[in-house]
Structure 1
C-alpha cells in the first residue's frame, strides 16, 4: 500500500491518469477570466482611440486656426441701366412678361470700360432683350435658373465688349408674371 500512497491524485494503480470529474465551476471561472480580459482589452482600446482622435482633432484645429484671413476683393464699380426691361416670355398659350432692372459690375477705375458700356447701351439692351424673350416662365422659376440667366447675360455682354470684362450681373428687380 505504500505504493498506493505514492500515486498522485487522479491516478489509479494501472498507471493511467484518470481525470477527476471536471468541475463546472472551474470551466465557468476560466470563461469569466477570458471575458474579463476581453472587456479590459476593449476598454484599453477605447481609451487609446479616444486620445489618438483627440490629438488628431487638436492638430487639425491648430492647422485651421493658422490659416490667414484674406481681405475681400474691392467692391466693383457699377453700370446701371436707366430703363427697366419689360419683355414678353416665349410661353405658348398664356401671355407672361418679365420686368427686370439690372446693373453690371466691373473692375473699379476702368474708365474705358465705363465709357464703352455707356456708348454700347443700345446694343447691350438689344442683346439682353433677345435673351429674355427666349425664356419661358418655367425657365425662370427657381433661383438656380436666375443664376444661370445671370451667367448667360454676362457671357453675351462680355462678347460685345473690347475694353474689359463685366465681372458680375446684378438683378435689382426681377418679376415674372
Structure 2
C-alpha cells in the first residue's frame, strides 16, 4: 500500500507563478493522485520504478497544465513512504 508520498515540483511550491499556471494546481494535484492510485507498492520499491513514476508524472502534469509547451520539466520526491 502506498500510504504517503509528498511530491514537490517547481509549480506546486512556487507562489510567484503566472496566474494561469497557478490556477491549474488543483488539476495537477488530481493528475498526480490518479497516477499514484494506479501503482502498487511493489512497483515503486525499485529505483527504476520511482524513475518511471517521475516520467509518468511529468507527462500528466504537462497535460494538466494544458499549455502548448511543456511547463513541467522534472518532478522531485521529497518524501516517499511505502507501508
| TM-score, with structure 1 as normaliser | 0.39
Q: Does 1:100 align with 2:5?
A: yes
State how far apart, in whole Å, the 1-side matches of 2:17 and 2:25 are. 15
- Cα distance, 1:117–1:172 mapped onto 2, change above 3 Å: farther
Query: 2:68 and 2:53 mapped to 1: Cα distance?
Result: 23
Instruction: Determine if the alignment matches structure 1 residue 170 to structure 2 residue 73.
Output: no
- Larger RCO (CA within 8 A; separation ≥ 6): 2
Change (3 A) 1:103 1:163: farther
Unaligned runs of 5+ residues in structure 1 are: 1-95
What pairs with 1:1-177 in structure 2 (closer than 5 Å)? 96-105=1-10, 111-112=17-18, 115-161=19-65, 162=67, 164=69, 165-177=71-83
Question: Runs in 1 of length 4+ with deviation above 6 angstroms?
Answer: none
Give the unaligned 5+ runs of structure 2: none
Q: Is the 8 A contact 1:100 1:174 kept in 2?
A: yes
Aligned residues: 77
Aligned partners of 2:28, 2:20: CA distance in 1, in Å? Answer: 11
What is the distance in 2 between the residues matched to 1:140 and 1:101?
14
> Does structure 2 conserve the Cα–Cα contact (< 8 Å) formed by 1:101 and 1:172?
yes
RMSD: 2.1
* Corresponding residue SS for 1:135: coil
In structure 2, relative to structure 1, the CA distance for the partners of 1:129 and 1:105 (3 Å cut) is: same
